[in-house]
Structure 1
Amino acid sequence: MRPPDTPGTPDASGTPDAPGRSDDALAPVLRDVRAVVFDTDGVITDSARVHAAAWKVAFDGFLRAHPPEDPDQRRPFDVRDDYLRHVDGRSRLDGAAAFLAARGIDASADTVRSVAEDKERLFTQRLREQGVDAYPGTVRLVKALRAAGVPRAAASASRHAGELLSRAGVLDLFDALVDGGESARLGLAGKPEPDLFLEATRRLGVPAGRAAVVEDALAGVEAGRRGGFALVVGVDRAAGADTGARLLRHGADLVVHDLGELCAGGAPT
């Protein structure tokens, strides 16, 4: 991680903030923001699809082996709706417990841990095989923030966040990273509690009331609202019929489909 940027700091050539130079200006909604915290999966990288696919295999296998009494509760895991409602943005254990409870399953701690470990194995395998990419619109926005001297942090409930960002080639664009490992070490509460994001702003040296948080998960935007962030941006990659509305109801101030929309020139064509 690089130290947070100081606006207008010249490099050796005398040009302010040359390493972060970008042709993009920030949209007006971001111009008073003094730091930005980005969720990782589904916001910075396309790893949400890998997480969702791994959860589907793990949950569907469990439901076949332990079918709920209610036939309607036996339906397969939906990689869009169930993922967004129950597991997106949460730790593996919290996500596994939330989905099983939603299907009427009173699972023991050992059962929850077993399903979470199955998902972890599947995710790690798929990550090694497929890799991940960073969203171009996100990279564009992060570089524009860097050019403006606005400190940036990545935050994630996943212990794989650093590896994901490194594989996508964007780790060095962020001044701080708070991942699942750090969260466990510090005893931070999981989303929708704001602890993860507040730790990120603490490391950037900016209070939440002067910072923005960018999230694609319902639990994540709720965490941003609970944390008192100046701006909570919801990212609707799914573009479902009501996904954007749900993000707004849970605490987002605005919703975008691509983070390039937060550059003054709008989303790339």
Structure 2
Amino acid sequence: MASTEFKGAIFDLDGVITGTARVHALAWESMFNVFLQKIAKREKKPFVPFDPEHDYLQYVDGMPRMEGVKCFLESRGIEFPFGDYNDPPDKETICGLGNRKNLDFQKVLKKEGPDVFQTSVKFVKALKKKGIRVGVASSSKNCELILKLAGLKTLFETNVDGNVSQKLGLKGKPDPDIFVTAAENLGLLPGECVVVEDAVSGVQAGRNGNFGLTLGIARNDTGEAL
């Protein structure tokens, strides 16, 4: 399909439009290491820290936050109740840990702000000038905050983020739900849209949703996997 046949483009946020991977990795590392040290002491086992490179990319990158917590805990053989999305950050549930991580993330983000990939922003603006509709689909519940801090709040026509996913019961990547919903919000079919992603799970989601084209942006060492 030629590019002129596409009517819409749906972008992941983190790693494609903005760069907060470093902040995310630091927040995950901080939260998990405090937790893992506590578990190691309680069970009298060696403390094995969270690896901000391998563990981040393998278990939490591109995943909805609570699914990322669950995935990493399972990799360590740790079983925790899911809990409730409103669990306090000191509660030992998957949601409690996820909310603790989010507090760490927001604290650093508000202090330093997100990086902005200007080449991607220029690309989005060029597509809009050609009449191509654009949206953003992200697993993050911080999508609105990130776009606001980056000065990009009005760049996209639709924003399907973690808050929308929770409200509508959408599945996380590699399921295509968030991208399909974004396409629907633009009044388009998946086959009429391009998905632009940087995470393996996101590329899989684009393929699983039968989108017209899925582009993988390799900003780290995941290029071969994409």
TM over 0.5: yes
Shift in Å, 1:171:
2.0
Instruction: Output one character per residue of 1:8-31: Cα deviation in whole Å (capped at 9) or x when no partner.
Output: xxxxxxxxxxxxxxxxxxxx9633
SS of the equivalent of 2:49 reads coil
Shift in Å, 1:70:
8.1
Aligned to 2:59: 86
Aligned to 1:51: 24
Shift in Å, 1:158:
1.3
1:222 aligns with 2:185: no
Shift in Å, 1:69:
8.6
SS of the equivalent of 1:171 reads coil
Q: Distance in 2 between matches of 1:88 and 1:38?
A: 16
Q: Distance in 1 between matches of 2:4 and 2:76?
A: 44
Instruction: Output one character per residue of 1:105-156: Cα deviation in whole Å (capped at 9) or x when no partner.
Output: 2223243122112101101111111111321111121111112111000111
Q: Distance in 1 between matches of 2:206 and 2:15?
A: 16
Gaps in structure 1 of 5+ consecutive residues: 1-27, 248-269
Which of these residues, 96, 107, 111, is aligned with residue 125 of structure 1? Answer: 107
Q: How does 1:126-145 map to 2 (within 5 A)?
A: 126-145=108-127
Q: Read off the aligned partner of 1:95 and give its amino acid letter.
A: G
Instruction: Output one character per residue of 1:186-219: Cα deviation in whole Å (capped at 9) or x when no partner.
Output: 1111111111110000011111112111111221
Aligned to 1:115: 97
Q: How does 1:1-269 map to 2 (within 5 A)?
A: 30-67=3-40, 74-110=47-83, 111-238=93-220, 240=221, 243-247=222-226
Higher CA-based Rg: 1
Gaps in structure 2 of 5+ consecutive residues: 84-92
Q: Distance in 1 between matches of 2:45 and 2:12?
A: 36
Q: Distance in 1 between matches of 2:76 and 2:16?
A: 28
SS of the equivalent of 2:36 reads helix
Among all aligned residue pairs of Structure 1 and Structure 2, give the percentage whose two residues are the same amino acid.
41
SS of the equivalent of 1:172 reads coil
State the 4+ residue runs in structure 1 displaced beyond 4 angstroms.
Answer: 68-71
Number of residues of Structure 1 aligned to a counterpart in Structure 2: 215
TM-score, normalised relative to structure 1: 0.75
Shift in Å, 1:40:
0.9
Shift in Å, 1:79:
2.3
Shift in Å, 1:90:
1.5
Q: Distance in 2 between matches of 1:147 and 1:141?
A: 10
Which range is displaced more, 94-103 or 47-56? 47-56
Aligned to 1:252: none
Instruction: Output one character per residue of 1:196-244: Cα deviation in whole Å (capped at 9) or x when no partner.
Output: 1100000111111121111112211111111011111112111x2xx11
Q: Read off the aligned partner of 1:171 and give its amino acid letter.
A: K
Q: Distance in 2 between matches of 1:232 and 1:34?
A: 14
Q: Distance in 2 between matches of 1:151 and 1:161?
A: 19
